Chains A and B, each alone.
Chain A
């Protein structure tokens, strides 16, 4: 059994960035305020070559967070045994500081759809998610953190609120939580609730890492805003404000800037990290958010 209360945060309470190979030289030369890196597990499951060599070198200099995007923890079917073994292999040789995955599914009936697909929050899905997290944590022999999704729609059959569902998962499995503040903002806008109320209900004591990223704006059939998680744009001001609100309740946390598509130059990415740094500094010096 893993204890979510005792080990929620092993990363430094500093800004980190999602690692992109085009930033390798900049990072090695001067990472600035960036104190740790996150990688997508599936990109480092080859047998060798440049990706593995770069990761080996980066891991000697930075704490590494391994973020899985393909396990399909919310899947109806059994977890993919081959993929579990690949995750174990990666975690074993790299020995990352933390490992995280998503409250979502992506594989069904042997097809991997390369997207984080939603699940209803019911007693049955709760049990399934907990079973899969237990299986993963036993396989890699360490605690994982589970990330809240961006939602575009709601399931009529859901009986749990998302914060309650996540709290229950953490308490049953001992997993930690990865709180994506942009995802909260996107979901709250799309599903018409107050993002601050969500944060107020959220089990912040289990949070070992915060994600921040950009989203795109669209509209639904009724002309209502439909925000789409894209990780391809700057973080908007209301999300920075929601981060301040979160930190005022949680205290300092490791904060990751996620920018995965239309990846900007290093200076632009580093500016986002500096802004996260400023948000952390406000908390450290006790300035109210």
Chain B
């Protein structure tokens, strides 16, 4: 009687399935709950990994609910590689489609924010530009400037106040107001930071990330938000070490 790894895996992931035959306690009894050690190890370790990766979601819905939901997710989407630092890439989409949580529409986007923070934590290092490099440029040519961003930087756009929800739960921030929020993830040192963006800044940074010039990006932003604050947005990018090169194409 040979136990295949397919049988073994099937019985680990489905507690309703019979335990594979051919496993014993070495005294002639079937393995019984000895097999359940593996069922438990797998479920607990994957649940823990998700709870570590999505602490705000766990706080929002409570540990018990989180563990129950993680149990559904891990069975339908076990890790696809041993890179546990990436586990849960599909969790936001899963939350989006999970009927019992449909009344908490913001959960998926909050999970996206946590995922972006985790990616930023492990992202490649990049030497930030010296802020003085900007002021050294001829002012009349600033509109032609193009820039590249550190690998840790990313943008999120949500119809929900995802930054405020994160800050309220993780940083004792004020109670979230019912607004939409754009967020940038920065990593000035080794610790990722989410920052809420002012009007127009998302369009501005998106245009820069696509390789657009400072002038063109500012125009897109002002088009979208007449009160777009260019110097505050540039200041945020500089203090957040978001830029790793600036260039004046000749």
Residues of chain A whose beta carbon lies under 8 Å from any beta carbon of chain B: 42-43, 45-53, 69-72, 75-76, 80, 82-83, 86, 105-115, 117-118, 120, 152-157, 190-193, 218, 220-222, 224, 226, 228
| B34:A153 contact, CB within 8 angstroms | yes
Q: Which of the residues B3, B78, B85 comes within 8 Å of A120, measured between beta carbons?
A: B3
Q: Which of the residues B3, B37, B122 comes within 8 Å of A46, measured between beta carbons?
A: B122
| Chain B residue nearest to A120 in the complex (CB) | B3
A120–B24 Cα distance when bound, in Å, is 12
| A112:B78 contact, CB within 8 angstroms | yes
| A220:B33 contact, CB within 8 angstroms | yes
| B190:A53 contact, CB within 8 angstroms | yes
| A51:B122 contact, CB within 8 angstroms | yes
A107–B124 Cα distance when bound, in Å, is 27
Residues from chain A with a CB closer than 8 A to the CB of B37 are: 152, 218, 226, 228
Residues from chain B with a CB closer than 8 A to the CB of A224 are: 25
| B25:A220 contact, CB within 8 angstroms | yes
Residues from chain B with a CB closer than 8 A to the CB of A114 are: 42, 45-46, 49, 79, 82, 84
How far in angstroms is the closest Cβ of chain A from B160?
Answer: 28
| B82:A112 contact, CB within 8 angstroms | yes
Q: Which of the residues B12, B32, B78, B124 comes within 8 Å of A221, measured between beta carbons?
A: B32
Residues from chain B with a CB closer than 8 A to the CB of A69 are: 82
| A222:B29 contact, CB within 8 angstroms | yes
A209–B124 Cα distance when bound, in Å, is 33
| Chain B residue nearest to A41 in the complex (CB) | B82
| B24:A157 contact, CB within 8 angstroms | no
| Chain A residue nearest to B46 in the complex (CB) | A114
How far in angstroms is the closest Cβ of chain A from B32?
Answer: 4
| A191:B26 contact, CB within 8 angstroms | yes
Q: List 8 A-B contacts (CB under 8 A).
A: A46-B123, A47-B151, A50-B121, A80-B81, A107-B82, A109-B6, A114-B82, A118-B38
Q: Which of the residues A107, A109, A154 comes within 8 Å of B24, measured between beta carbons?
A: A154
| A117:B38 contact, CB within 8 angstroms | yes
| A112:B22 contact, CB within 8 angstroms | no
How far in angstroms is the closest Cβ of chain B from A90?
Answer: 12
How far in angstroms is the closest Cβ of chain A from B14?
Answer: 13
How far in angstroms is the closest Cβ of chain B from A280?
Answer: 32
Interface residues on B, range: 35 or more
| A192:B27 contact, CB within 8 angstroms | yes
B227 interface residue, CB < 8 Å from A?
no
A-B pair number, CB within 8 angstroms: 149
Q: Which of the residues A48, A75, A115, A157 comes within 8 Å of B5, measured between beta carbons?
A: A75
Q: Which of the residues B6, B26, B42 comes within 8 Å of A115, measured between beta carbons?
A: B42
B80 interface residue, CB < 8 Å from A?
yes
How far in angstroms is the closest Cβ of chain B from A57?
Answer: 12
Q: Which residue among A43, A50, A106 has the maximum number of chain B CB atoms within 10 Å of its CB?
A: A50
| A113:B23 contact, CB within 8 angstroms | no
| B33:A221 contact, CB within 8 angstroms | yes
| B82:A80 contact, CB within 8 angstroms | yes
Given contacts A50-B190, A114-B42, A115-B41, 19 further A-B contacts (CB under 8 A): A47-B124, A47-B151, A49-B123, A50-B121, A72-B82, A80-B82, A108-B6, A111-B80, A112-B80, A112-B82, A113-B78, A114-B82, A115-B42, A152-B35, A153-B23, A153-B25, A155-B22, A192-B26, A226-B37
| Chain A residue nearest to B152 in the complex (CB) | A49
| A111:B123 contact, CB within 8 angstroms | no
Q: Which of the residues A50, A111, A154, A192 comes within 8 Å of B79, measured between beta carbons?
A: A111
Residues from chain A with a CB closer than 8 A to the CB of B83 are: 42, 45, 70, 86
A111–B10 Cα distance when bound, in Å, is 11
B9 interface residue, CB < 8 Å from A?
yes
Residues from chain A with a CB closer than 8 A to the CB of B85 are: 42-43, 45-46
| Chain A residue nearest to B79 in the complex (CB) | A112
How far in angstroms is the closest Cβ of chain A from B240?
Answer: 15
Residues from chain A with a CB closer than 8 A to the CB of B177 are: none
Please provide the 10 A-B residue pairs with the shortest distance between their CB atoms, ordered closest to farther. A70-B82, A46-B122, A50-B190, A47-B124, A48-B125, A153-B31, A221-B32, A111-B78, A191-B26, A48-B124
A76–B8 Cα distance when bound, in Å, is 12
Query: Given A49-B190, A50-B190, A112-B82: A76 and B5 within 8 A (CB)?
Result: yes
| Chain A residue nearest to B8 in the complex (CB) | A117
Residues from chain B with a CB closer than 8 A to the CB of A76 are: 4-6
Residues from chain A with a CB closer than 8 A to the CB of B35 are: 152-153
How far in angstroms is the closest Cβ of chain A from B145?
Answer: 26
Q: Which of the residues A48, A71, A107, A190 comes within 8 Å of B122, measured between beta carbons?
A: A48
B74-97 to A contact mask, C-beta < 8 Å, 1/0: 000011111111000000000000
| B82:A83 contact, CB within 8 angstroms | yes
Q: Which of B177-215 contact A (CB under 8 A)?
A: 187, 190-191
How far in angstroms is the closest Cβ of chain A from B40?
Answer: 9
A194–B84 Cα distance when bound, in Å, is 36
| A154:B25 contact, CB within 8 angstroms | yes
Residues from chain B with a CB closer than 8 A to the CB of A45 are: 83, 85
B1 interface residue, CB < 8 Å from A?
yes
